[in-house]
Structure 1
Amino acid sequence: MPKLLQDFSIPAVFAGFITFLIGISVSAVLVIQAAQILGASAEQISSWFWALGFGIGLSGFILSWKFKYPVATSWSTAGLALILATGSGYSLYEALGAFFISGLLTALLGFSGIFQKALSYIPQSLTSAMLAGVLLKFGITLFASMQNDWGFILSLLAVYILSKRLSPRYSIVITVIAGLALCPIFLQFHAPILQWSITKPIWMTPTFTWSAFFGLALPLFIINMASQYLPGIAMIKSYGYKPHVNQLIGWTGLTQMLLAPFGCYSVNIAAISAAVSLDDQVHPDPEKRYIAGMSCGFFYILMGIFAATLTGLLLSFPPIFIVALAGIALLGTISHNIALAFYDLAEREAALMTFLFSASGIQFFGIGSAFWGLLFGFVVLMILKFRAKPLPK
Structure 2
Amino acid sequence: MNTTSSQLRGRDWISPTIAALISVMVNYGGTFILVFQAAKVAGLSPEMTASWILSISVGVGLTGIWLSYRYREPIITAWSTPGVAFLVSVLAITPYEEAIGAYIISALGFIVLGISGMFERFVRLIPPGIASGLLAGILLQFGISAFGGAKADPLLVIVLFAAYVLLKRYTSRYAIVGILVIGLIYLISLGKVDFSTIKLAIASPVFIVPEFSLHALLGVALPLFIITLTGQYMPGMLVLRNDGFKTSANPILIVTGLGSLVAAPFGSHAFNVAAITAAICTGKDAHEDSTKRYLAGIACGIFYMVVGIFGVTLAALFLILPANFIATLAGLALLGTIGGSLAGALTEPKGRETALITFLATAANVTLLGVGGAFWGLVAGLAAHIVIHGQFRHKPYRTSGIQQAEQK
**Deviation, structure 1 residue 266:** 0.9
1:6 aligns to what? 9
Structure-2 separation of matches of 1:144 and 1:321: 11
1:237 aligns to what? 241
Q: Go from structure 1 to structure 2 and tell me whether the alpha carbon gap of 1:187 and 1:352 turns closer, same or farther (over 3 Å shift).
A: farther
2:401 aligns to what? none
**Deviation, structure 1 residue 192:** 3.0
Structure-2 separation of matches of 1:194 and 1:144: 29
List gaps (5 residues or longer) in structure 2: 392-408
Structure-2 separation of matches of 1:221 and 1:24: 22
For 1:6, the aligned partner's letter is: R
1:88 aligns with 2:92: yes
- Residue pair 1:78, 1:224 contacting (<8 A) in 2 also: yes
1:274 aligns with 2:278: yes
Of 72, 88, 92, the match for 1:68? 72
Structure-1 separation of matches of 2:165 and 2:191: 21
1:142 aligns to what? 146
- Residue pair 1:113, 1:246 contacting (<8 A) in 2 also: yes
**Deviation, structure 1 residue 141:** 1.5
| Sequence identity (%) | 37
Structure-1 separation of matches of 2:44 and 2:7: 41
1:317 aligns to what? 321
1:261 aligns with 2:265: yes
Structure-2 separation of matches of 1:163 and 1:197: 37
- Aligned-residue CA RMSD (Å): 1.5
For 2:49, the aligned partner's letter is: I
- Residue pair 1:227, 1:371 contacting (<8 A) in 2 also: yes
Q: Go from structure 1 to structure 2 and tell me whether the alpha carbon gap of 1:254 and 1:154 turns closer, same or farther (over 3 Å shift).
A: same
For 1:150, the aligned partner's letter is: P
Equivalences for residues 1-393 of structure 1 within 5 A: 2-3=5-6, 5-6=8-9, 8-185=12-189, 188-386=192-390
Q: TM-score, normalised by structure 2?
A: 0.92
Structure-2 separation of matches of 1:186 and 1:192: 15
For 1:171, the aligned partner's letter is: A
**Deviation, structure 1 residue 185:** 4.8
- Residue pair 1:160, 1:174 contacting (<8 A) in 2 also: yes
1:390 aligns to what? none
- Residue pair 2:28, 2:319 contacting (<8 A) in 1 also: no
CA deviations over 1:138-196 (Å, ceiling 9, x no partner): 11111122223221111111111111111111111111001101114567322334321
CA deviations over 1:324-374 (Å, ceiling 9, x no partner): 111111111100100001111111111111101100111112211011101
For 2:193, the aligned partner's letter is: F
Structure-1 separation of matches of 2:257 and 2:194: 39
Structure-1 separation of matches of 2:250 and 2:227: 18
- Residue pair 2:68, 2:295 contacting (<8 A) in 1 also: yes
Q: Which deviates the most, 23-32 or 229-238?
A: 23-32
List gaps (5 residues or longer) in structure 1: 388-393
For 1:61, the aligned partner's letter is: I
CA deviations over 1:243-283 (Å, ceiling 9, x no partner): 22100111101100111000010101000010010111111
For 1:201, the aligned partner's letter is: P
SS of the equivalent of 1:273 reads helix
